[in-house]
Amino acid sequence: MNDIKGVTTADIARVFFGIDLKHGKQYCPLPGHTGKSASFNYNSTKDLWFCHSEKIGGDGLEFYRWMTGKGMGSCFADIKDRFGLDDSSLEQKGYYTKEPEMNLYIKFCEQVMQLAAENLTGKNHILNFAFEKWGFTKEILQKYSVGYMDYSLYSKLESLFGTAKLEEFGFIGNTKTGGKWKVFQDRVIFPYFNWSRRPIYFIGREVK
């Protein structure tokens, strides 16, 4: 169910963006999406959507937020105005309890973030690189939960989640010759957060 009573994700898609959202799989309409497969799924019964490529999803409010990039307060206000709702129609809840697949992915990201941050501790050559080359401080590393991925952490994640999940979540990739590669191995990783400050993906940087 949508957090905005009486207004569905499909209503928001149509009224604000002229998009005809259908039940089931389709191309992803989100502006940040780059893939070309039908990775976007809309469940009109539950009124929830999910993009399997971007690993993001939610309800109508979240859809509007990803479409516009606005803050939550503005999103509430825009929808309220356009649909002529009063304050009692708006109810903010936790979003990431609704989609089990997304829950697992976010749990995975949180675990990676925590373990990778611990893994950076004491790795002085990498810390020095971050301080000198990137101008980071200890406070920045901590504030943004920056971490480090290496072989041992990959092994740990494989034992916790299984190789198949690591592949599904984009931590293990396929080479053109049919091999596998560890996408973030020996890289400093930076988590990206959603609006409720939960990590939803990572950027990796080589340290050399």
8 A C-beta contact, residue 189 and residue 126: no
Using DSSP bridges, classify how beta strands 24-26 and 147-149 pair: parallel, antiparallel or unpaired. unpaired
8-state DSSP, 208? -
Residue 51 in the binding site for Zn ion (CB under 5 A)? yes
Count of residues interacting with Zn ion (CB under 5 A)? 5
Task: Report the nearest approach of Zn ion to the CB of residue 176 (Å).
Answer: 24
Q: Which of 3, 47, 54, 99 binds Zn ion (CB under 5 A)?
A: 54
Q: Does 62 bind Zn ion (CB under 5 A)?
A: no
Residue pair 46/1 in contact by the 8 Å Cβ criterion: yes
CB 52 to Zn ion: min, Å: 8
Pairing label, strands 199-206, 187-193? antiparallel
Q: Which stretch binds Zn ion (CB under 5 A): 46-54, 72-80, 112-120, 123-131?
A: 46-54
| Angle, helix 72-83 to helix 9-17, in steps of 10 degrees | 80
Compute the C-alpha angle 68/109/146, nearest 5°: 90
CB of 3 or CB of 54, closer to Zn ion: 54
80 contributes a contact to Zn ion by CB under 5 A: no
Is position 67 an interface residue for Zn ion (rule: CB under 5 A)?
A: no
What's the closest the beta carbon of residue 4 comes to Zn ion, in angstroms?
22
Tell me which residues touch Zn ion (CB under 5 A): 28, 30, 33, 51, 54
